[in-house]
Structure 1
Amino acid sequence: MSGAKRAYDLMRGYVGDTWERIQESDRTRAETELSQEILPTTPKRWTPPAPSPIDPVRARDYLGVKDDASPAEIRRAFEALDSRSDPGRFPANSEDARKAQEIQDRVRWAYGILSARFGHLESRFGGLEID
């Protein structure tokens, strides 16, 4: 097996695993939301709808980081996932390229959500240690 073929197969496997993890996260959230909607509730007074919440839990699931991840850890996870899910590594218009693009879109969304909670200075200098 050539080195290029092996590298391509590894990338396909990586995209497949990441795709399954993201789909499972979405499926779990959808099932939870559905079960909450099905449960009988008492009528409430009408209140104006709240803006859709930003979901940092889902964002952390997509990037595979813990609740207390530092800006550096979030950035490393983002860079690794973003580069590995580059759709340019797959044949144009293939199913693998489509999945890779979807993964990359979700990873970029998640990074935007998680990096927004850190200030510019904390993101840039938070990992420095001063003796």
Structure 2
Amino acid sequence: MSIPDRLGRLGKAYVGAIKDKIESELSEREAAVSELDGGEARRGKAVPPPPASELSDLDSLMRRAEEKIAAARQGLEAREELAPTAKAAAVAPVDTNPLASDYRVLGLSAGASLAEVQAAYDDLTRRSDPKRFPEGSQEQAQARRILERVILAYDNIRRENNPTEDRFAKLEL
């Protein structure tokens, strides 16, 4: 199971637990009020709302739950921004092209033009630049690994699509 799926399920479970807690509190209060009224609440008389102090507790609990869900969504979006090729790799069909994995790293289909390869490379190197993250952090280490994979994939594709470039590098004078 992927991390986004886990976060989604965790958020749903958390909201469900809070909803169940609120519903059980309300049903307990309704039962207590109906016992105090001698069953008048069942006969169509209005049930008084819970005290304002208890409503504020429930409101704060719901507000915290919404904040946690929003934070989880933001974290998920940040991870998807760093690794957009994970979805593409998951749905990409198996390709016999030896550079297919390199194209997937760059988020492109096999046989993309050099201009598309260069644009994808520039975008990914900018987004995975380790200098964008706090020094010594896990995010910086992950960005370094991603950057290395992107550079390697770009070099492989460039060598394959432009063989004359490699010839000049081997030229001895």
Structure 1: gaps spanning 5 or more residues: 1-8, 33-53, 123-131
Counterpart in 2 of 1:61?
A: 104
Structure 2: gaps spanning 5 or more residues: 1-73, 166-173
The structure with the largest helix share of the pair is 2
Q: What is the aligned residue count?
A: 86
Shift, 1:117, TM fit: 1.3
Identity percentage of aligned residues: 27
Q: Which amino acid aligns with 1:105?
A: E
Tell me the distance in 1 between the aligned counterparts of 2:114 and 2:139.
Answer: 30
Q: Which amino acid aligns with 1:109?
A: L
Q: Cα–Cα, structure 1 residues 56 and 89, in superposed 2: closer, same or farther, change >3 Å?
A: same
| Residues 78-125 of structure 1: CA deviation (Å, up to 9, x unaligned) | 010011100000001101001111110000000011111122779xxx
Q: Say what the alpha-carbon RMSD is for the aligned residues.
A: 3.2
Q: Which amino acid aligns with 1:60?
A: Y
Runs of 4 or more above 6 Å deviation: none
Question: Larger relative contact order (C-alpha < 8 A, sep ≥ 6)?
Answer: 1
| Residues 30-62 of structure 1: CA deviation (Å, up to 9, x unaligned) | xx9xxxxxxxxxxxxxxxxxxxxx941110110
Instruction: Check conservation: 2:88, 2:104, Cα contact below 8 A.
Output: no
1:73 correspondence with 2:116:
yes
TM-score when normalising by structure 1: 0.54
TM-score when normalising by structure 2: 0.42
Tell me the distance in 2 between the aligned counterparts of 1:24 and 1:64.
Answer: 7
